[in-house]
Amino acid sequence: MRLACRAHFSRLAVAALFMLCLVVPAHADLVKKELDLETKAVNLVRETDRGGYALVTTEELHGKLGTVKDLLVVDTMPLEDSYVKNHVPGAAQFLFPIEELTEWDAAKTDGKTVEQFKALLGPDLNRPIVFYCGFVKCTRSHNGAMWAVKLGYTNVSRHPGGIVGWQEAGYPIETGK
């Protein structure tokens, strides 16, 4: 009887150890994913604070298309490598770099000047403008939104989910120039 109890206890101990081996890595993966998400979220909030613009979700942007008068949506990704392949319907394109653009540098904006950027945005400083890039971690849209605010535009938003969030939501895309 004592031997049977030990064998049973040993099997339970092995089973418990096995379950623990399954749970601990899964828990570690969850912690790592949560820490990664936290880092991205805090970076996004800090960029938004520095830039002085608002944020819109994928669903909110989708709802604005076709309903908000004079809405300008700007894709800040490279023209040939990204915009031509897929973009939010009706979006204009203006390249911004990934690193924060504190001083205008035409070499980092595909040779375009601040005057060309203002021409794209138009003369109405209250025009609703939404910038996006590839995905939450991409900061090209931060640069676009930040520069619009620097130039005096007051109704500026950033869509952090970008084209990846747009596609994951199943919303239609356009291709070409």
Find how far residue 61's CA is from the centre of its chain.
Answer: 13
Q: What torsion do the CA atoms of 138, 144, 146, 148 make, to the nearest 10 degrees?
A: -160
CATH-assigned architecture of domain 52-168: 3-Layer(aba) Sandwich (3.40)
pLDDT tens, 115-137? 999 999 999 999 999 999 999 88
Q: Beta strand pairing status for 129-132 and 72-75?
A: parallel
Find how far residue 94's CA is from the centre of its chain.
Answer: 16
∠148-152-155 over CA atoms, to 5°?
Answer: 65
The structural domains of the chain, with segments of one domain joined by +, span 1-51, 52-168
pTM of structure: 0.81
Dihedral sign for Cα 19, 21, 22, 28, please.
Answer: positive
More confident residue, 20 or 61: 61
